[in-house]
Chains A and B, each alone.
Chain A
Amino acid sequence: MRHFRTVLSTAVAAALGSALAQAAISDDVIKIGVLTDMSGTYSDLAGPGVVAAAEMAIADAGGKVAGKPIVMLKADHQNKADIAANKAREWNDVEKVDAYVDLVTTSTALAVMEIAKNANKVVLVSGAGSSRITNEDCNPVTVHWTYDTYAMAKGTGSAMVKEGGKTWFFLTADYAFGQNLQKDVSAVVEASGGKVLGAVKHPFPASDFSSFILQAQASGAQVIGLANAGADTTNAIKAANEFGIVAGGQKLAGLLVFISDVHSLGLPVAQGLTLTTGFYWDYDDQTRAWSKRFFEKTGKMPTMVQAGVYSSLMHYFKAIEAAGSDDGPTVIKQMKSGPVEDFFSRHGKIRDDGRLVHDMFLAEVKKPSESKAPWDYYKILRVIPGDEAYLPLSESKCPLVRKS
């Protein structure tokens, strides 16, 4: 009988103890799950570089937050929503992951956001681009860090119309992201007084773009908007170069171009391209210092997605430290409470809809003669203030936004 009492009291004590721990750091560990494309189309702009950025963030936090160790899990979602969802469910049920990180490709992000919402876990989206993530599909546990299709459209679209590119023709990747991007850019172009002459939806992925380029050429549009990403964009730019699009007076607008794309194309082909980016390594001393460390680790300069992952994790760790808890809604509330200022985010703040609004850059790819060093690729034409770049809250369809 005495034995039974001991067991009982131990059990009660243990239950109490864990209940107390729940309020602070669950399972005495901060677990982050990096879900990204490790070997597919987007693995150069996200992938192993994202893992490296996350490792840097953990190391810079000293491997610990609020006295508890940080553990990172990583997995390849192969850009497939079902794989991402299965992995996230496994991580949630078995591994008790506290935050899901990166999620390149919109469909994977949307799938994981749903799971995390039900489990009250945090999602830090960096790679995925659709503006839906913080608009009609927004949820209280998701923060969208680096960029979105609206900001890309706003930056590049309005700049090109202002420079006289009044008529547009789109090459659009035939899936959610491409169509979303085309829609966002068309709205911006028309609002700035331009006109959309037509579009061709190409299969995703496509390898030969000469046919689509010829159609764009025949349209006579002043600007050819590339509403696609990754290898589709690079192949389209190559074909455009070969068929003399730019030489013929038409302009190319890369609506989602990463520095990894420019690197793989080389400046002779990519020069003159106008683009919008959330981060450029050679902007100031802070960006250079961080990027140099990244370069030493990976041998490449970071894309905006990779830099964004580091920045989002550091902000997440600080919020846990300040809140003394890793409970999803509590941390998100903490994250949204203050400004986000670091090498990546300028004048940054996280809005009610989960959008990190920070300054974006309008850039032009340099001519080979202007490039002084390896990776010296962009001329920053203009800093676009965050409030101008991102969808105004007054137009948001996100139910979390308090309309006054």
Chain B
Amino acid sequence: MDFLNIPLPAVLAQLVVGLINGAFYALLSLGLAIIFGLLNIINFAHGAQYMLGAFFAWFGVQYLGIDYWFALLLVPIAVGAIGMLLERFLLSKLYREDHLYGLLLTFGLALIIEGVFVQLYGVSGKPYAVPEALRGALNLGFMFLPKYRAWVIVASVVVCLGAWLVIERTKLGAYLRAGTENPRLLQAFGVNVPMMITLTYGFGVALAAFAGVLAAPIFQVSPKMGSDLIIVVFAVVVIGGMGSILGSILTGLGLGLVEGLTKVVWPEASSTVIFVIMAIVLLVRPAGLFGRER
């Protein structure tokens, strides 16, 4: 059985691999969507924060003896805390201004962070070993799937769904959504909105750092890893609809699959296909697939 002249097992294998990339897109675009939803900030530092996640995991192993599993827990907290400081002392000054100011500030920060890491660690990056428990591969019949890659899919889907449930189904999430709609009214009800904004930004950043730790054993831990990825992730957010939580998760996974197929059918186009889709979506549905017109 063939699909576009390619044997079916090969297609299935490519889809699985695409899903893994989609899992990263989903995690990163989810964080971006949450931040944009409440803060109206286009967080261009997201890629740098993802890179920080990977580097903190590497620091953990190198200097503190913190293994992968603890890093998965501790690094998002640490990077998230840095994010909160950033929000408190820099971003919070810009809420009254145009989107563009937040974008420029975070973009500048991203360049600075990346530049410092290039200076300190070089561009080639550092190796990070796959944790002992996840070495080896699973035989799926049509392919050998490294256990670690399977874990990436599971972990990111669980975290994405968890975040979605918290936002859509809990009281805390209800506050958050209310803050997105009308922060002033919410404050009148006695909710500490500035604190909520700070925590939300921290959470979005923590998601990026979590993705960074997940990525560390797969890719080289390198200062450029974030900027390579972030443009694609922005395209994912635009396609899904700015600020749409579920939209960003589904589009992330979906585009991973599309990209995976493109890599077999026409590999040269695989870095472009997402942007072609973005252009089409913007023409047909300017608010994105899951977005609402404001």
| Contact stretch, chosen from A204-212, A284-292, A331-339, A345-353 | A204-212
Interface size on B, residues (CB 8 A): 40
Q: At the interface with chain B, which of A56-64, A102-110, A117-125, A264-272?
A: A264-272
Question: Which of B7, B228, B267 is the one whose CB lies under 8 Å from A200?
Answer: B267
Q: Which residues of chain A have C-beta atoms less than 8 A from B13's C-beta?
A: 214, 218
Beyond A242-B130, A242-B149, is A43–B118 a contact (Cβ under 8 Å)? yes
CA distance A266 to B126 in the complex (A): 8
Q: How far is the CA of A242 from the CA of B148 in the complex (A)?
A: 9
Give, as a whole number of angstroms, the nearest-CB distance from A144 to chain B.
Answer: 24
B222 at the interface (CB under 8 A from A): yes
Contact A264 B218 (CB under 8 A): no
Residues on the B chain within 8 Å of A215, using CB:
10, 263-264
**CB pair A261 B219 closer than 8 Å:** no
Interface residues of B in 162-191 (CB under 8 A from A): none
* B203-256 interface (Cβ within 8 A of A): 218-220, 222, 224-225, 228-229
Is A330's CB within 8 Å of the partner chain B?
A: no
Chain A residues contacting B54 (CB-CB under 8 Å) are none
Whole-angstrom distance between the alpha carbons of A265 and B267 in the complex? 25
- Complex Cα distance A45/B122, Å? 10
Decide if A202 touches B218 in the complex (CB within 8 Å): no
- Whether B108 is near chain A, meaning CB under 8 Å from some CB there, is no
Contact B271 A238, beta carbon cutoff 8 Å: no
Contact B137 A244 (CB under 8 A): yes
Binary interface encoding of chain A residues 137-150 relative to chain B, with 1 for a CB under 8 A from any of its CBs, else 0? 00000000000000
State in angstroms the CA–CA spacing of A205 and B232 once bound together. 13
- Give bound CA distance, A200 to B269, whole Å: 12
Q: Say yes or no for B127: interface residue by CB 8 A criterion.
A: yes
Would you call B270 an interface residue if the criterion is a C-beta within 8 Å of the partner chain's C-beta atoms? yes
B260's partner among A205, A206, A211, A238 (CB-CB below 8 A) is: A211
Q: Which one of A39, A201, A211, A268 has the greatest number of beta carbons of chain B within 10 Å?
A: A211
Please judge, given known A-B contacts A211-B263, A238-B218, whether A260 and B148 are in contact too, CB under 8 Å.
Answer: no
Q: Are A43 and B122 in contact (CB under 8 A)?
A: yes
Decide if B70 is an interface residue (CB 8 Å cutoff).
Answer: no
CA distance A207 to B24 in the complex (A): 12
Question: In the complex the two chains form, is B228's CB within 8 Å of A207's CB?
Answer: yes
Among A207, A234, A239, A261, find the residue whose CB has the most chain B CB atoms closer than 10 A. Answer: A207
Chain B residues with CB below 8 A from A244, complex form: 137, 144, 146
- Does B123 make an interface contact (CB < 8 A)? yes
Say whether A39 contacts B268, CB under 8 Å. Answer: no
What 1/0 mask marks residues of chain A from 253 to 279 whose CB sits below 8 Å from any chain B CB?
000000011011110110000000000
Is the CB–CB distance between A231 and B125 below 8 Å? yes
A203 touches B (CB below 8 Å) = yes
Chain A residue numbers with a CB within 8 Å of B137 are 243-244
| A207 close to B229 (CB less than 8 A) | yes
A/B interface sample: 27 pairs, CB < 8 A: A44-B123, A44-B124, A174-B268, A202-B268, A206-B271, A210-B149, A211-B14, A211-B260, A211-B263, A212-B267, A214-B14, A214-B17, A218-B10, A231-B123, A234-B125, A239-B218, A242-B148, A242-B149, A242-B218, A243-B146, A244-B137, A260-B122, A264-B122, A264-B125, A264-B126, A264-B127, A269-B127
Other than A201-B268, A203-B268, A208-B20, give 18 A-B pairs with Cβ distance below 8 A. Answer: A45-B124, A207-B229, A208-B218, A211-B18, A211-B270, A214-B10, A214-B13, A214-B143, A231-B125, A231-B220, A234-B124, A242-B130, A242-B148, A243-B146, A244-B137, A260-B124, A264-B124, A264-B125
| 7 smallest beta-carbon distances between A and B, as pairs | A264-B124, A203-B271, A211-B263, A266-B127, A44-B124, A44-B122, A210-B17
B residues contacting A by CB (< 8 A) are 7, 10, 13-14, 17-18, 20-21, 115, 118, 122-127, 129-130, 137, 143-144, 146, 148-149, 218-220, 222, 224-225, 228-229, 260, 263-264, 267-268, 270-272
